Amino acid sequence: MARPDRKPVAVGTRLIALNKPYDVLSQFTDANISAARRTLSEFVAVPHVYPAGRLDRDSEGLLLLTDDGRLQARIADPRFKLPKTYLVQIEGEPDAAALDHLRRGVQLTDGMTRPAEARRIDPPALWPRDPPVRFRKSVPDCWIELTIAEGRNRQVRRMTAAIGHPTLRLVRWRIGDWSLDGLAPGEWRDLPYPG
């Protein structure tokens, strides 16, 4: 029984948008102590929030954190088909057929992907990456915007590789209605709680 002199702690009321920098794990601790890898604890000192989904160490961009397990599942679980939009710098210049292949779905080792939205875009005005993407004069690159509604392991990288255009840089820009707008790498902000 709750004591009347104590206020209940509000649970499930925090939603945070973080611009996860390159080379940072999507977790607060690292079991591999000898490697000294960077984690979310370097950027977010908010207790009891956890990532809603993952973003690979070599990817950048929007990571949502919450203290609400149900919201965390709703954001991360592919059954809810929450669209995720990525800005992707790829090697080479895909033709219309390659982009159409992404739109129809790509056969990966773990099965066919759902159809995606894909289009070429001008190079976005992003922060410099540290370390920078390697530049090769003899190999052109370009940017695409890719929106998927599932979240397989390293899916975007595997999709671009499957059409012959390996990913050089990957930035998640949007999850559902939440966007990275206005956040520099390592910065975070509270979002209105959708509950």
- State the catalytic residues: 56
**How far is 75 from 70, CA to CA, in rounded Å?**
9
**How far is 134 from 140, CA to CA, in rounded Å?**
12
**Which among 189, 194, 188 is positioned nearest to 12, based on CA atoms?**
194
Asked if the peptide bond before residue 131 counts as cis, ω within 30 degrees of 0, the response is: yes
**How far is 87 from 178, CA to CA, in rounded Å?**
15
Could you tell me the two tokens for 82? 């929450």
Rounded (5°) CA angle 120-149-20? 75
